[in-house]
Chain A
Amino acid sequence: MSTSVNATLSSKIISTRTIYDFHGGIHPEEMKTLSNQTPIVQPPIPPQLVLSLQQHIGKPSQLIVELGQRVLKGQKLADADGMISVALHAPTSGIIDRIVDHPIAHPSGESGECIILIPDGKDEWCELEPCEHYEHLSVSKIQAKVREAGVAGMGGAGFPTEVKLHPPHHDKVATLILNAAECEPYITADDRLMRERAEEVVQGMEIMAYALQPGECIIGIEDNKPEAIAALREAAKETLIEVCVIPTKYPSGGEKQIIKILTDKEVPNGQIPADIGVMCQNVGTAAAIYRAVRFGEPLISRVTTLTGEGIQQPGNVEALIGTPIDWLLSQYGFQAKKTERLIMGGPMMGFTLKHIETPIVKTTNCILAPTHKDLPPPPPAQACIRCGLCADVCPAVLLPQQLYWFSRAQEYDKAEHHNLFDCIECGACSYVCPSSIPLVQYYRHAKGEIKQQKQDQLKSDQARERFEARQFRLEREQAEKDARRKARADVAAKAQASKKAAEAEKSVDTGTEIQTDAAPEDAADTKKAAIQAALERSKEKNQAKNTSEPEELIDLEALKTAWDKTQAKLDKMHDALDDAKANNPEQVEKLTRAVEKNQMRVNQAKKAWEKASTNLKVETETKTEQDSEAEKIDIEALATALVKAQSKLDKMQDALDNAQPEQVEKLTRAVEKNKTRVNQAKQAWEEASASQTAKIEKSTEIAADTMAQPDIKALESAIEKAQSKLGKMQDALENAQPEQVEKLTKAVEKNKVRVQTAENALKAANSISATNQNGEQ
């Protein structure tokens, strides 16, 4: 496969590539000869290894070993957690001693979770899976191997390499660049690696090319490394990889800068090189990929430059990942007294170590131990003199001075607007600043603040959303509660209304026109109805004032009907009297009196009607007589209703007696209903008659017993009837089917209760009539 890729490139290798330039850049003293004169050495195994779970960009690895477990060299200790994460392996065989928080390689100097591995000195490899020919493997297998080997970008950022072996979804990779510029002063790790292991580097690049199938493969190397260039050219002779020598200028090793130099393409703001079809890898990463695929070796060591005047034997070492820096330096004559600080990385982009026991990680390319003379602490910052040198050297073509003002004044949005996030923090501006302003630190701080603010904003937006959702929920719950309450109230009101309507219907049935004057002694409901009736009357009255003619007629008519009704009642009473004469001699006297009274009332009604017809106006103004008339009518009407209801009840009871067993229940219910109606009618009648009695007592001193007596009589008959019904029911019960027995028993019990109540009512009526009679006497 790779040969076919290389065949397509064959024409290009002959042509000399145009080298482009990037804006700005500086030429600091290189100081590379200090460490690149000696070959890479293999330090002894340290007494303990400190393996941080966070050696890369992305999520920390997930621990998969236990305390006290013996692990072999190359054995996996922690797994990659998600896509942007890499695995971690044991650099040598030994025992997992403890898992503790230990200072890690981070500018903050803070601690992170670390595995402490105590080597057993045997350096015993675990079983590896070598592969002679990577061409026989599928691309996904190679990606998996790289992922399993825990390879992360060794140039500085530590981005998981496997991710960069996937070609972009939408596009193929046009150019694969191997970044061998190593532009920072002092650092020679890549230089030595290329000199000594050029084969590994070139074959690693071929594996990457196999996975990515790029249009061209270029190794970009600065011209200050002639031996490395020669070695690479030799190694790449048989391949189509182009070794491209670029002029030495800091920071040509920056990803965006080397892309610009080799391809003249610029990575747009907010995008990554893959977006413009370029993939950039580090030399050390290529070698690691080769070892991972060819020998199955995970990334457990790396070439690190130990340099600076503070080290007696500067040079490059292949240090195991996790080697404590203090121990490592002590092996090469570290002079603590001569050095003021230790820098991890180069003098331009590295950071000062806060803890000397920090371990080597996968991205540690250099440990710099400069003396005071080498790298004096920066002089105090002075005011910006607006010389513009920083803008001249900025490789990202930014305006460092503006960014400085904005960052310093905490005007972060303006700094962002001036593309602060395109700053690669190369330090060129700080290097040239005549006022020694720590510009990069301002930018780093501003970037951190902006990121923090964005995070806070995100969180507060989330909190607001949750708060509003909660408010909405609470409101909804309240509304639902209110709705339920309202529904309950509505049902209650409806029930009340229907009750009232039933009462109103009843009074309509009985033809009642309840009078306001009679109300005080009545129950609350009747009162209400009376008030309503009064209102209606007053309305009518008002109407009458406007149009007197129809009112007169109505009034007259009403009086006439009242008269008629009274007359009808009188007739009925006469009938009753006749009846009584035949059947019930002791009641005759009472009835006779009642008839007489009724006769009187009829006469009164007649008189009233006559009076009304003669003198309408007077009649409407003096209501009293009519009131009494109406009352009488009322009582009579009620009595009629009562009688009617009674007769209906009787009929029903007969029906019940004759009914089929299956209809018994229904009829019983109907009978009960009717009974309640009878009771209600009776009550209404009683009330009406009582009020009438009181009134009559007050005004005319007419004996009230006439009123009470029919009442008592009626009650008595009701009781009799109820008792007879009860008897019948009991008979029915005896004859009933077993399944109906229960129901009937209940009905019988109910009837018993009713008989009881009727008897009570009778007693009450008797006492009333007694008082009335006393009053009369």
Chain B
Amino acid sequence: MSVIVTAILALLGLAAVFGALLGFASIRFKVEGNPIVDEIDSLLPQTQCGQCGHPGCRPYAESIADGGDINKCPPGGEATIQALAELLDVEATPLDSEHGEEIPKQVAIIREDECIGCTKCIQACPIDAILGSAKHMHTVIASECTGCDLCVEPCPVDCIDMIPVDQGLGAWHWQSPKDQKIIATDKMNLVTEGANLS
């Protein structure tokens, strides 16, 4: 009998000690905020465009952390969906076309001689990438522009254009080799890259 009591007491004692330890640890080493949100946020393209239906990238990250869909970010496109799927260990779903199509990177350009200096676009820009003041011409700081096109709609004179970014040779890189056909008759159709020499 005393053996059982001893065992129970010992187990209770251990439980109390470890419970106290765990309780202490949970307070002492408490993690502020949700770290997964930060990780998701760092994968998002930070255009702050709101195409996902959330007011910015972080709110979208929070909704994903709460179990929301990962396919609502057109600027990030398939690459972002892949990265999110890998991070969260969920299946990568194709981009939800309801939120927009994946388009090449864009940058806003203000047709400066048409600008009336209303500052509406400056207020709309989520990352302060438009420079100017009231009744003075505005211009887009192209290197900072994320191409979210939030400035286009508020412009009363429609002087903002979204143009594809010319990334130049610096951004060029080799394409992935295409999977070639190994059937002999398909080889006939092989198109060799290169200059037309004749």
Question: Residues of A with Cβ closer than 8 Å to B?
Answer: 54, 106-108, 110, 112, 336-337, 339-342, 352-356, 377, 380-382, 407-408, 410, 438, 441-442, 444-445, 447-449, 451-453, 455-457, 459-464, 466-467, 469-470
Q: Any chain A CB within 8 A of the CB of B149?
A: no
Q: Least Cβ distance of A335 to chain B in Å?
A: 9
A463-B56 Cα distance, complex, nearest whole Å: 11
A337-B197 Cα distance, complex, nearest whole Å: 7
Contact A54 B180 (CB under 8 A): no
Contact B182 A441 (CB under 8 A): no
The residues of A that contact B47 with a CB separation of less than 8 Å are: 463
Contact A442 B177 (CB under 8 A): yes
A107-B56 Cα distance, complex, nearest whole Å: 39
Contact B173 A380 (CB under 8 A): no
A445-B187 Cα distance, complex, nearest whole Å: 24
Q: Least Cβ distance of B37 to chain A in Å?
A: 13
A108-B169 Cα distance, complex, nearest whole Å: 8
Q: Given the known A-B contacts A353-B195, A380-B182, are A106 and B169 also in contact in the complex, defined by CB atoms under 8 Å?
A: yes
Q: Given the known A-B contacts A107-B174, A463-B47, A463-B48, are A342 and B169 also in contact in the complex, defined by CB atoms under 8 Å?
A: no
Contact of A464 among B41, B79, B194, B198 (CB under 8 A): B41
Contact B190 A377 (CB under 8 A): yes
A457-B176 Cα distance, complex, nearest whole Å: 21
Stretch at the interface among B1-9, B28-36, B123-131, B154-162: B123-131
Contact A355 B195 (CB under 8 A): yes
Q: Least Cβ distance of B125 to chain A in Å?
A: 8
Name B128's closest neighbour in chain A (CB-CB).
A470
Contact B192 A467 (CB under 8 A): no
A interface footprint on B170-198 (CB within 8 Å = 1, 0 otherwise): 01111111011110001100101111111
Contact B194 A354 (CB under 8 A): yes
Q: Least Cβ distance of A106 to chain B in Å?
A: 6
10 pairs of A and B residues whose beta carbons are closest in the complex: A448-B173, A380-B180, A341-B194, A444-B174, A460-B46, A463-B46, A466-B127, A336-B197, A445-B176, A380-B182
Contact A381 B169 (CB under 8 A): no
Contact B181 A380 (CB under 8 A): yes
Contact of B128 among A336, A448, A464, A466 (CB under 8 A): A466
A445-B177 Cα distance, complex, nearest whole Å: 8
Q: Least Cβ distance of B29 to chain A in Å?
A: 26
Question: Residues of B with Cβ closer than 8 Å to A?
Answer: 41-42, 44-48, 56-57, 79, 82, 126-129, 144, 146, 169, 171-177, 179-182, 186-187, 190, 192-198
Contact A467 B171 (CB under 8 A): no
The residues of A that contact B179 with a CB separation of less than 8 Å are: 381
Contact of B176 among A442, A452, A462 (CB under 8 A): A442
The residues of A that contact B198 with a CB separation of less than 8 Å are: 336-337
Contact B192 A377 (CB under 8 A): yes
The residues of B that contact A408 with a CB separation of less than 8 Å are: 176
Q: Given the known A-B contacts A463-B46, A467-B46, are A410 and B146 also in contact in the complex, defined by CB atoms under 8 Å?
A: no
22 interchain pairs, CB-CB under 8 A: A106-B172, A110-B169, A342-B197, A352-B193, A353-B194, A356-B196, A380-B180, A381-B180, A381-B182, A407-B176, A410-B82, A445-B174, A445-B176, A448-B172, A448-B173, A449-B173, A460-B46, A460-B146, A462-B144, A466-B128, A467-B57, A470-B128
Name A355's closest neighbour in chain B (CB-CB).
B195
Q: Least Cβ distance of A383 to chain B in Å?
A: 9
A24-B46 Cα distance, complex, nearest whole Å: 45
The residues of A that contact B56 with a CB separation of less than 8 Å are: 467
A336-B198 Cα distance, complex, nearest whole Å: 6
A461-B144 Cα distance, complex, nearest whole Å: 11
A339-B196 Cα distance, complex, nearest whole Å: 10
Given contacts A108-B172, A341-B197, A451-B173, 5 further A-B contacts (CB under 8 A): A339-B197, A340-B194, A448-B173, A460-B46, A463-B48
A761-B163 Cα distance, complex, nearest whole Å: 78
Q: Least Cβ distance of A690 to chain B in Å?
A: 58
The residues of B that contact A470 with a CB separation of less than 8 Å are: 126-128
